Amino acid sequence: MSVDFYYLEELLTEEQRLIRTTVRHFVDEDVLPIITDAFEAGCFPTELIPKIAKLGLLGATLTEYGGAGIDSISYGLAMQELERGDTAIRSFCSVQNGLVIYPIATFGSKEQKDYWLPKLIRGEAVGCFGLTEPEHGSDPSALKTRAERDGDSFVLNGTKAWITNATIADLAIVWAKLDGVIRGFLVEKGTPGFSAVKIEHKMSARASDTGELYLHNCRIPQENMLPGAEGLKAPLMCINQGRYAIAWGAVGAAMACYEEVVEYTKQRVQFDKPVASFQLVQEKLADMLTEITKAQLLCLRLGQLREAGRVKPAQISLAKRNNVAMALQVARMARELLGANGITLDYHTIRHMLNLESVYTLEGTHHIQTLILGQEITGISAFK
């Protein structure tokens, strides 16, 4: 690990180290040289998809259907390294894994699994996850998208907003109410009545593809419903997969900012001295290293619990809440120490800082993670 103050490297297996190092090289060689342009252009670099698939990062923890079958800590380390590059790359992967491959593998029929999983794992098909709506974000139980049975089809109507991978996706998992109960539906690109439109003018996660999904009398065959997903619990189980990836990814973004600013402050001279020699600057560097180290320890233990099948959703929420807030704080401190240079894309920090504003909000906002923890502690729900 590049930032590894407590020698956590020693606690990793050889395979975990190898996966971390391989993804790290991929980010250095293939992501960092192009990511600033992608961020400025506001486009996801789709040319990376075959490489990400070849690295075994899609369906990474699955052992069937061509998945690499890696353990939870290896998966977390991979997400950390991807987000050290950019949130968009980690997001692409964690949506494809936790929000598309996972629900099909967990709730899908044999036919759905046989048809979609190999394609999604090989990167030949991209998926997206449509839960959020323009009027319903933190409270998805109130979603308005409807499915109605009509002969041997379902007819879907509604709008989804803020959907990662929306316009590059071949498949959307759309969560809609059928007879008042939330169910998951597989909607293929090109289905009449279905369209995806990119959300423009984002100032965060710019290299990520984010869009709206429109369903207008969209007719799909009845075998496109996920048979095992019934009620809000199903999409929330998917979101927990995403939160796990974010908990690790945020650490990667923080590590990138920290490394950049340590180098910068050692070289930047003011008042005839490197700015790194000033106590106020050193205090910030010490705070950054401390918080990153604590978050790394949290991730490692979270990974062990997940691997042992013992992790509770609230434990994932604690890590998502802490690590994203930590990374945002680290990015802001690094931005400050970079001075005016910190506001340009010549340095990575501002890109991470802006991206982290999205990560703070998505897959359950900081407030929502707080309420999940509050409920876990007290047994009392404060959601309503």
Ligand X SMILES: Cc1cc2nc3c(=O)[nH]c(=O)nc-3n(C[C@H](O)[C@H](O)[C@H](O)COP(=O)(O)OP(=O)(O)OC[C@H]3O[C@@H](n4cnc5c(N)ncnc54)[C@H](O)[C@@H]3O)c2cc1C
Query: Does residue 363 have an active-site annotation?
Result: yes
Which part of the chain contacts ligand X (CB under 6 A), choosing from 24-32, 162-170, 187-195, 221-229? 162-170
Q: Which two tokens stand for residue 88?
A: 């968009």
Q: Which of 67, 137, 158, 184 binds ligand X (CB under 6 A)?
A: 137
Q: Which of 210, 265, 349, 369 binds ligand X (CB under 6 A)?
A: 210
DSSP secondary structure of 240-258: HHHHHHHHHHHHHHHHHHH
Taking CB under 6 A as the rule, does residue 23 contact ligand X? no
What's the angle, vertex CA 171, arms to CA 203 and CA 41, rounded to 5?
A: 25
CA dist 172 and 175 (Å) reads 9
φ, ψ of residue 196 to 5 degrees: the values are -125, 130
CA dist 60 and 93 (Å) reads 10
Q: Which of 163, 172, 186, 253 binds ligand X (CB under 6 A)?
A: 163
Question: 188 has which bridge partners?
Answer: 171
Footprint on residues 77-96 left by ligand X (CB under 6 A): 95
Who's near 141: CB < 8 A, 6+ residues apart? Answer: 182, 232
SS3 category, 343:
helix
Q: Which two tokens stand for residue 79?
A: 């997400």
Taking CB under 6 A as the rule, does residue 171 contact ligand X? no
**Cα dist. 311→301, 372, 384 in Å?**
10, 15, 26
CA dist 34 and 297 (Å) reads 31
Taking CB under 6 A as the rule, does residue 138 contact ligand X? yes
Mask for 311-350, x = binds ligand X (CB under 6 A): ----------------------------------------
Q: Which of 56, 59, 108, 130 binds ligand X (CB under 6 A)?
A: 130
Q: Which residue is nearest to ligand X (CB)?
A: 137
Taking CB under 6 A as the rule, does residue 154 contact ligand X? no
Interface with ligand X (CB under 6 A), residue total 23
Q: Which two tokens stand for residue 316?
A: 């994932």
Footprint on residues 110-129 left by ligand X (CB under 6 A): 128-129
CA dist 51 and 123 (Å) reads 9
Q: Min. distance of Cβ 75 from ligand X in angstroms? A: 19
In the chain the first and final C-alpha atoms are separated, in Å, by 42
Which of 72/167 has CB closer to ligand X? 167
Q: Min. distance of Cβ 359 from ligand X in angstroms? A: 8
Q: Min. distance of Cβ 364 from ligand X in angstroms? A: 6
Which of 139/223 has CB closer to ligand X? 139
Residues near ligand X (CB under 6 A) are 95, 128-132, 137-138, 162-164, 205, 208, 210, 358, 361-363, 365, 367-368, 371, 383
Give catalytic residue positions.
363
